[in-house]
Each structure stands twice: as structure tokens, then as C-alpha cells.
Amino acid sequence: MIGAVNSTRDIAQIVCRKDNMSTRSNIAIEDPKTKKVKVIYVHSDGYPYGVGHMLVDNYYNRQLAEELFKYGDASYLDETIDQCSFYGRDWNRDEDPAKEYRDEWMYMSQIKGDIFIEYIYLFKDNRWHVSTQKSTKAKDGYDDGTLFYYTKFEPVTLNKEYIKYKDKHEKHAEVKMISQIGKLLSGKFPEDNIEMQGGLKKKSN
């Protein structure tokens, strides 16, 4: 986690280091009858002890899990649907609904090569599973030979990161960090020109 931000120079360094801004993830749910899969994007805190922990603790059955897919992509998840931040519902954006794929295999095939999605969560067989993006190097590969791939799905509760950090990590750490940056930027630029992706956002009336 990135520490306190104290200067405009700090802001510039963090904004330029996009890989440190948010841990992006997708969450998906499988229809037990048709095997079709619905998917949405979640911008912040995508690691197993962030989004994974939130899913396991608060959306632990099919009825609760299905609620997550009614509003399209999300900035972040929270303990209830009302507390979650969805781009279409809460940011006044024209967002598409959850994407639908023929089955798990088709979805995983289509997401290959998307290096920005670090974790994928899938609700099936009445529990949440996670697939982690990893990389390896090909000795004769072009341009450093780095190859990205997703691991096989495993129950979130058996994931090593989840087990190690689930009770030690601050809730919404990335969301709070991004909001802090937004407040600092507001002192340098007109507020109308600032919209921090993944930051805290109040619901529209």
C-alpha cells in the first residue's frame, strides 16, 4: 500500500505509476442450468483480501451474488449493494449491463491477453472462486519474452493471499488512497475537471 501523499511531486509520481493506482478485477457468475456466465469489471482493491474478502463475507450465496450484476461495472464493492459504487447507478455514466458469455471457457478464452485484469472471481457451485494473473518468460521470446496467463480457479478461502492478509488489510485501501489524491488535486485544479477513477463517490439522488 502507498503511504501518505504530501506534495504535488508525490501526486505526479503516483499518477504516472498507473500500475500502483488500482488492482483491477472482474467478477463473474455462472448460471447452474445454462452455464452462461455474466461478468462485470471492478476497478479497485481487486486482490483476494480486498474484493475476494468482500465477496466471501457478504455475497456468499446465489441470491446475494446475483444482486452484484444488476448495475454493470463498479468502482468498488462494499458490504451491501447500496454501499457499492456502480458507474451507471452512482456516477451518472452511460454504462452497459453485465456482459454475458456462452460459458466459463468462452469467457476465459476471450480475456486472454488482458494484462490489466489481475484477478477474476467466479461464483459457481455455491461458492466464490478466484483465478490469478501470473507471468512467465520465454527464453526465445520477443521483447523480453514475458507471457501472461491466468491460473486455474480455486476457492477464494483456499487462496494463499486471502488466508495471509484477510484479517490484516485495511478495507478499501486503494479507494481511500485515490480519494486522498483527488482532494490534493482539487487544491491545484478546478473541481469540475477532476474525476478520480476508483475514488469514493456519493450516490446521485
Looking only at the bridges linking them, the beta strands covering 25-30 and 119-124 are: parallel
Note the helical H segments in the chain: 8-16, 53-58, 62-67, 87-90, 104-111, 160-165, 173-186
This prediction has a pTM of 0.78
55 φ, ψ (degrees, to nearest 5): -65, -45
Single-letter residue type at 123 = F
Q: Which residue has the cell 468498488?
A: 76
Quote the cell numbers at residue 105.
471457457
Taking the C-alpha atoms of residue 77 and residue 1, their distance in angstroms, rounded to an integer, is: 18
Q: What's the pLDDT score for residue 144?
A: 84
Taking the C-alpha atoms of residue 87 and residue 85, their distance in angstroms, rounded to an integer, is: 7
Taking the C-alpha atoms of residue 96 and residue 123, their distance in angstroms, rounded to an integer, is: 21
In the chain, where are the structural domains located? 8-184
Distance of CA 16 to the CA centre of its chain: 20
Q: What's the pLDDT score for residue 167?
A: 87
Q: What's the pLDDT score for residue 171?
A: 79
Per-residue pLDDT tens listing for the chain (205 residues): 334 444 444 444 444 334 456 899 999 999 999 999 999 999 999 999 999 999 999 999 999 999 999 999 999 999 999 999 999 999 989 888 899 999 999 999 999 988 899 999 999 999 999 999 999 999 898 988 999 999 999 999 999 999 999 888 777 776 766 555 555 555 555 555 444 455 555 454 4
Q: What's the pLDDT score for residue 103?
A: 98
**Which long-range CB contacts under 8 A does 146-153 form with residues at least 24 apart?**
148/113, 148/115, 149/112, 150/108, 150/111, 150/112, 150/120, 153/120, 153/122, 153/129
Q: What's the pLDDT score for residue 68?
A: 98
